[in-house]
Amino acid sequence: MQVHEQRCPTASRYIALLSLLIAATAFVVNLGSARAQDTCQAPEQGQETLWTVVIPEGFPRYIYVWRLKPDGTYAEDGRDAATGIPIQRTLSGRWTVEGTRMILRQDTLGFVFDGIISGDQCSGMLYRGLRTFSPFVATKSAGPPCKPPPVS
């Protein structure tokens, strides 16, 4: 019985994480409002890739968007999931993919995302320096990258 009790919290955590990721994806899709649609471009070879990210244990109230560029750099924005208000200035860093492993290293805050890609999902661990910080899950956007509408 003890093993079952230990598994339930973990399963519940992953179900909650999946629910949060679905909500985050819906939130980012809603950012592509009619006002912002004219900033979208048709996807082309070599264009940036958009990922929606949740960091449930480290920053449970926030949703992040990575914009991975073909030159190996990326930009990261974050918003409050409930209000849509930005919670940080745009951060930047470098990303690499080797096989199914993707690593993003922030330039200024010392965070490193180390994950495994499976289809349009990437999940793994976020580190701050050499310390484990939180698991994360990211979903690749099926549509073209769009600039979010201005915050009023």
Convert the pLDDT of each residue in 98-113 to its tens digit: 999 999 999 999 999 9
Pick the range with the lowest mean pLDDT from 36-40, 80-84, 114-118.
Answer: 36-40
Neighbours of 83 (CB within 10 A): 10
At 144 the pLDDT is 44
At 47 the pLDDT is 82
What are the φ and ψ backbone dihedral angles of 34, each rounded to 5 degrees? Answer: -60, -35
Q: What percent of the chain has pLDDT over 70?
A: 63
What are the φ and ψ backbone dihedral angles of 55, each rounded to 5 degrees? Answer: -125, 80
Do 77 and 90 contact (CB within 8 A), yes or no? yes
Looking at every residue in the chain, the average pLDDT score rounds to: 76
Neighbours of 40 (CB within 10 A): 13
Q: Return the ∠ at Cα 73 (arms to 67 and 131), rounded to 5°.
A: 90
Output the pTM of the full model: 0.68
In this prediction, residue 1 has a pLDDT band, given cuts at 50, 70 and 90, of very low
For 22-68, write each residue's pLDDT tens digit: 544 444 444 443 333 333 333 345 788 999 999 999 999 999 999 99
DSSP state of 70: T
Q: Delineate the domains of the chain, giving CATH numbers in brackets.
A: 2-33+46-140 (2.40.128)
> Cα separation of 47 and 13, whole Å?
34
Q: Is the pLDDT of residue 8 over 80?
A: no
Do 81 and 23 contact (CB within 8 A), yes or no? yes
Virtual torsion, Cα 23, 80, 131, 105, nearest 10 deg? 90
At 141 the pLDDT is 84
Q: Is the pLDDT of residue 96 over 80?
A: yes
